[in-house]
């Protein structure tokens, strides 16, 4: 029997509201090329929460999902593909007291092509360097995660 949808808001320990009854997860695809390291990011559509900011595709986990499976499902829903070959390099859990967001840094051997059409939640996608990443208007929680990952000064 499939798990229950995790769509919905929950109140966490500090009183704020978070999306994902069972937590949430997203994947930061990274390609380490000969010349530079690139990261895949998405611009949130203006009609989404904090739209107009850059982040990673991700979202609510279903009741029976591990963070990697949920993050890959969300990536597929929002971008339309998931690379065939990848390796999880880092896992970062941001715990908010009973609710957490898991960011998985996933290495891909090759940059995959950008999709020709986008899901309604996504206004744009691109591969960027760490330097370019710092210049983007980032979703605040994603900016905090990047700082913990050592990608932002």
Provide CB contacts within 8 A for 126, sequence distance 6+. Answer: 40, 41, 114
CATH of the domain at 125: 3.90.79.10
Question: Residue 65: inside a domain, yes or no?
Answer: yes
pLDDT score of 3: 72
Q: What is the DSSP letter of 24?
A: E
81 burial (CB, 10 Å; 0-12 / 13-18 / 19+) is: exposed
pLDDT in tens, 19-54: 889 999 999 999 998 889 999 999 988 787 777 789
Question: Residue 4: inside a domain, yes or no?
Answer: no
Q: Please give the C-alpha separations between residue 121 and each of 19, 92, 116, 152, in angstroms, as whole numbers.
A: 14, 24, 15, 25
Is pLDDT at 1 greater than 60 in this prediction?
no
Of the CA atoms within 13 Å of residue 91, those in its CB half-sphere come to 11
Question: Residue 2: inside a domain, yes or no?
Answer: no
Q: Which of 43-52, 66-75, 90-99, 144-153 has the highest mean pLDDT?
A: 66-75
- CB-based burial, 3-38: b 16+ in 10 Å, e otherwise: eeebeeebeeeeeeebbbbbbbbbbbbbbeeeeeeb
Question: Residue 1: inside a domain, yes or no?
Answer: no
Domain count, the chain: 1
Domain encompassing residue 131: 9-148
Q: What is the DSSP letter of 111?
A: P
Question: Residue 153: inside a domain, yes or no?
Answer: no
Question: Residue 25: inside a domain, yes or no?
Answer: yes
Question: Residue 33: inside a domain, yes or no?
Answer: yes
pLDDT in tens, 55-64: 999 999 999 9
Question: Residue 41: inside a domain, yes or no?
Answer: yes
Cα separation, 9 vs 69, in Å, equals 20
- CB-based burial, 115-127: b 16+ in 10 Å, e otherwise: eeebeebbbebeb
């Amino acid at each position: 029997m499939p798990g229950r949808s995790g769509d919905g808001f929950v109140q966490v320990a500090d009183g704020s509201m978070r999306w994902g009854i069972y937590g949430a997860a997203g994947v930061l695809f990274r390609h380490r090329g000969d010349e530079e390291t690139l990261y895949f990011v998405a611009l949130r559509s203006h009609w989404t929460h904090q739209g107009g900011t850059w982040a990673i595709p991700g979202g609510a986990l279903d009741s029976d999902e591990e963070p990697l499976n949920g993050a890959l499902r969300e990536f597929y829903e929002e971008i339309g593909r998931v690379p065939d070959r990848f390796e999880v390099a880092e896992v970062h859990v941001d715990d908010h007291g009973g609710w957490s967001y898991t960011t998985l840094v996933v290495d891909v051997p090759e940059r995959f092509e950008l999709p020709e059409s986008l899901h309604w939640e996504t206004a744009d996608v691109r591969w960027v360097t760490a330097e370019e990443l710092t210049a983007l208007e980032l979703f605040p929680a994603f900016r905090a995660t990047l700082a913990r990952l050592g990608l932002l000064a």
